[in-house]
Chains A and B, each alone.
Chain A
Amino acid sequence: MDKMPKWADAILVPLISLLLAAILSALVILAIGEDPRAAFKLMVDGALMRSAGWGYTLYYATNFIFTGLAVSVAFHARMFNIGGEGQAMLGGLGVALACLFIPWPHWTLALLGSATLAALFGAAWAFIPAYLQAKRGSHVVITTIMFNYIAFSVLGYILVNVLRPPGAGDPASVRFPEATNLPTFQDMFSTTANPMFRSAPANVTFFLALAACVFVYYLIWRTRLGYEIRHFGHSQTAALYAGTSGVRITVIAMLISGALAGLMAVNTTQGEAERLILNSTEGAGFIGIAVALMGRNHPFGVLLAALLFGFLYQGGAELALWTNIPSQLIIVIQALVILFTGALDNMVRMPLEKLFLALRKNKEAL
């Protein structure tokens, strides 16, 4: 046994990484002459101490859960789907088409319809890179990232030339009909005596995201398909020898991944903006990569990591509102967390492993 205990791997490593990121961020804030403790307090107050703050934190987290799950499903088949951005954009188009052109009688049906279309559109957008990877060997990293740009252009064309109401300068569709508006947390949890989540964008899609976490857990660890996906990911040759079709697994894993990314659009497009805008994904597809890395590709880890990033986004907004910390530095702080938890993972893990190993040897020596 040369491994450290599981609890250290799952909890200690991310915590130490976070601590390092926090220390560096504090130094950055100190360097520009602001008080890091006050800044941290402001972030916590703004993101976690008020229900409206939670409303924003959970709204961002919902996006990151979907894109994080998308990346992790593909990753179990050892594919790096960095096209979550484009798949979510197309998902947004699906949501808009469902909401604009089908007269839904009630939001529950509208949610069902738009989620189906969002997943279908996202999956369809992921299908082409998946097919190219499976049949032609074009690397999925290259094709998915290129498909992000194509998605942006497609969306731009459709918004400017087709869906934009005449006279408007903004490349965006008209507002969706009232019946399709999803209930926000404010609608669900407020009473007249005790208003909660005031005007925050978190909505019922959050529960859809939680359901997606459960779905992915069962899919990956409790079904035959999930087993095949993991098997294929761990050793392609062994999986092929065992009779698994590489083409089938590649395509199916990417389709599920694309569908999950597409579902994110339900939250931003139907839940928040209530119309289709050009910039509705705003990088959540890429944050999904960091979320999946930090969450160890496990749905529960993805959920926790998504909450953390939701906190960083909402806390960052509070910093931008009430301090003079420039927005670029807030991005630096967010990037430091990504860097330490995602990219520099081994920097913390290796010394820790050595430490545990040394401790164990000491014990054995005694």
Chain B
Amino acid sequence: MTLMQKFLGAAATLALTAGAALAEPALIYDLGGKFDKSFNEAAYNGAKKWADETGATYRDIELQSEAQREQALRRFAEAGANPVVTTGFAIASSLEEVAKDYPDTKFVNIDGWMAEVPPNVQLIAFQEHQGSYLVGMMAAMASKSGTVGFIGGMDVPLIRHFGCGFAQGAKAANADIKIVANMTGTTPTAWNDPVKGSELAKAQISQGADVIYAAAGGTGVGVLQTAADEGILSIGVDSNQNHLHPGKVLTSMLKRVDVAVYNAMKAGADLETGGTTVLGLADDGVGVAMDENNAALVTDEMKAAVDDARAKIISGDLNVVSYYTDDSCPVLDF
């Protein structure tokens, strides 16, 4: 076999594996990558669970540049992947454009926003403010100093949305509570800067905070670590992070991205599209993590208050104001 033949052979097998096997779903991670211990990793976990259960395979890509958003969407759609699941709000604009060119392909976007949702796109939105409200209540009840902290990742509306819900919950449990809020930064590195997270946590502790909620992706790992070291409580986000420091993490605000991805892949080509799925407390899309790691920290009083507020939010008796309604928060200035 000459070198040329080898070359052609390798190319042919590659072309086959690239083209033929694709009647499978595809998953596009946002910049930041698959294993960010938070948002994208939750999506990966959902896809992995689906693959393990069904024995089927899926394609995925970690984006490296903005121009790749549209490219990845088109290439997966052209190769026949269905549905194509995307994470993060930043891809929504590209998706809006691309979706009309592939009417037979179904697309899902988590966290995105579109003025008008195309018929073959399903948006999935989480009611993060509701979950944050509940952990805010717990924080205020657990605080002895009367001061709680919020550390956000990058200063974008989504994170203010988290912080606003948290502040409302804290105020509801204790009207006199003081809330210290900081954002890690204004660049995407703010999602993965545990050292800065740790510094901010120390600064908030010196201002009297004794429960800190970190909604900051990888940065939160530093916040939780410092809180544990300094002997105060912390609250995790997105995934259940209670196990990171057992007995030191009050709870975690769960955002079930994994369930959303799993459900989308399970539905496959039959996925319902053309609207926005809103996952809130009622659907267990967001929630409060209770397990053996934080059982000793959560008092019966807290549990009762959280259960009560949860029921009221679901029934509509209690309205947690969303930051998005008028781009401001009634109880907290950013």
Contact = CB atoms under 8 A, between A and B. Distances in A.
Interface string A166-187: 1111111001000000000000
A152 B190 CA distance: 12
B186 A153 contact: yes
B7 to A, nearest CB: 7
A279 B188 contact: yes
Q: Among A42, A277, A280, A327, find the residue whose CB has the most chain B CB atoms closer than 10 A.
A: A327
B11 A41 contact: yes
Contact of B187 (A37, A152, A268): A152
Contact of B158 (A60, A169, A328): A169
Given A37-B7, A38-B14, A41-B10, A317 B113 contact: no
Interface residues of B, number: 44
B62 A149 contact: no
Interface stretch (B65-73, B283-291, B312-320): B65-73
Interface in A136-179: 149, 152-153, 156-157, 160, 164, 166-172, 175
A199 B93 contact: no
A207 interface: no
Interface string A29-46: 000000101100110010
A321 B61 contact: yes
Given A169-B157, A313-B65, A156 B187 contact: yes
Given A56-B71, A170-B89, A171-B156, A317 B64 contact: yes
B156 A160 contact: yes
B6 A268 contact: no
Given A41-B11, A45-B11, A149-B187, A59 B67 contact: yes
A189 interface: no
B114 to A, nearest CB: 9
Contacts of B67: 56, 59-60, 201, 268, 272
Contacts of A328: 33
A19 interface: no
A156 B33 contact: no
B10 A321 contact: no
Interface in A175-212: 175, 199, 201
A37 B113 CA distance: 42
Contacts of A298: none
B80 to A, nearest CB: 14
B155 to A, nearest CB: 7
A259 B12 CA distance: 46
B10 A317 contact: no
Interface in A58-87: 59-60
A312 B53 CA distance: 37
Contact of A156 (B11, B93, B155): B155
B92 interface: yes
Interface in B69-110: 70-72, 74-76, 89-90, 92-93, 101
B157 A172 contact: no
A289 interface: no
B93 A322 contact: no
A320 interface: yes
A260 interface: no
Interface in A254-284: 268, 272-273, 275, 277-280, 282
Nearest to A41: B11
A201 B187 contact: no
Given A37-B6, A149-B187, A160-B155, A167 B66 contact: no
A279 B14 contact: no
B324 A320 contact: no
B329 to A, nearest CB: 14
A91 interface: no
B116 interface: no
A156 B186 contact: yes
A169 B31 contact: no
B7 A41 contact: yes
A199 B102 CA distance: 13
B41 interface: no
Nearest to A268: B66
A320 B59 CA distance: 10
A320 B61 contact: yes
A355 interface: no
A330 interface: yes
B111 interface: yes
B18 interface: yes
Contacts of A277: 66, 90
A28 B156 CA distance: 38
B65 to A, nearest CB: 5
B300 interface: no
Given A149-B187, A166-B327, A201-B67, A35 B10 contact: yes
22 contacts: A38-B11, A41-B7, A156-B155, A156-B186, A156-B187, A160-B157, A164-B157, A169-B161, A170-B90, A170-B92, A172-B90, A175-B93, A199-B70, A199-B74, A273-B66, A273-B93, A279-B31, A279-B188, A317-B71, A322-B17, A327-B34, A327-B61
Given A160-B155, A169-B112, A330-B64, 11 more contacts: A35-B10, A37-B7, A45-B11, A59-B67, A169-B111, A169-B324, A277-B90, A313-B64, A317-B65, A320-B68, A327-B34
A-B pairs, 5 with minimum CB distance: A156-B186, A327-B62, A38-B10, A322-B18, A170-B89
